[in-house]
Structure 1
Amino acid sequence: MADSASRGEAPWSTGLFDCFSDCSLCCQTTFCPCITFGRSAEIIMKGSSSCCENCLLYAAIQYLTGSLFSILYGCYYRRKLRQQYGLKASPCHDYCVHCFCHYCALCQEYRELRNQGFDMKIGWNANVDRGVTMAPVAEGGMKR
């Protein structure tokens, strides 16, 4: 039997509604979600785009199109994060999570990356210099 991480069923390290466990992140995301998104997207994309680029793009999408396209944009990155770390699509599909709990989803994604060992404030390159570049390898189950 394959382990849960290989099937995309590993649990998130924090719950979707654990926003208030980190009040500074909660406030940052409430008042300037583009920063939370930008930092997470830089790590998820392994530095192929900077925090500033992601932040500005998210802010422009939010300003020019309203919530719909920023939700879709956030959903795309949530899916990539889940694939990288083998996380469950819970409590529901990525689009529904971002549609109904967008800021909570941004906070959860940020916390997940931080709990995986990334220092979110220093960006991808500085994390690479620290030796943090990928998800830990999941141990496989016993096989014959």
Structure 2
Amino acid sequence: MGSWSNGLCGCFNNCSLCLVTYIAPCYTAGKNADATGGSMPMTCLAYLLFAPAGIFLAAKAREKIREQKGIEGGFGSDCLVHLFCPLCALVQDAQEIQPAAQAESMARE
């Protein structure tokens, strides 16, 4: 099984993505959901209006990332990571699905 290319506390590996996520976490959650086949608008709204639904949708995106990359873990741990360390988890997810250059452009959008 594989592992994450960046650690959970490795959010400062891409400072612009980290800054965007800390200012507008719903945007990064939506971009992550969109990249994994989810709905960007629904995830953004859920993250803004009803936190438990946002956490659930972000964890579903994380689950898809893990499955695509062959990373160990389960949906329960994905939910816990997004519950207790949501911003770091969003950045870690974004860094995993996009190469560094694309993550930089995402931060500028």
Q: TM-score range by the shorter chain?
A: 0.7 to 0.9
SS in 2 for 1:17: coil
| Structure 1 ranges of 4+ moved more than 6 A | none
Q: Offset at 1:118?
A: 7.9
Aligned-pair RMSD on alpha carbons? 2.4
- Which residues of structure 1 form unaligned runs of 5+? 1-8, 123-144
Residue 82 (structure 1) aligned with residue 66 (structure 2): yes
Normalised by the length of structure 2, the TM-score is: 0.80
Residues 110 and 63 (structure 1), Cα distance of their counterparts in 2 relative to 1, 3 Å cut:
closer
SS in 1 for 2:9: coil
Normalised by the length of structure 1, the TM-score is: 0.63
Q: Offset at 1:43?
A: 1.9
In structure 1, what is the Cα distance between the partners aligned to 2:82 and 2:18? Answer: 16
Question: Which one-letter code corresponds to 2:92 in the other structure?
Answer: Q
Q: How many residues align?
A: 104
Partner of 2:49: 64
Residue 17 (structure 1) aligned with residue 20 (structure 2): no
Residues 39 and 60 (structure 1), Cα distance of their counterparts in 2 relative to 1, 3 Å cut:
closer
In structure 1, what is the Cα distance between the partners aligned to 2:70 and 2:27? Answer: 25
Taking only the aligned residue pairs, the percentage that are identical comes to 32
Provide, for residues 16-63 of structure 1, a one-character-per-residue CA deviation record: whole Å limited to 9, x for no partner.
110112111111001111221222222212xxx6xxx50x32232133
Larger Rg: 1
Residue 34 (structure 1) aligned with residue 36 (structure 2): no
- Which residues of structure 2 form unaligned runs of 5+? none
Residue 112 (structure 1) aligned with residue 108 (structure 2): no
Q: Offset at 1:64?
A: 2.6
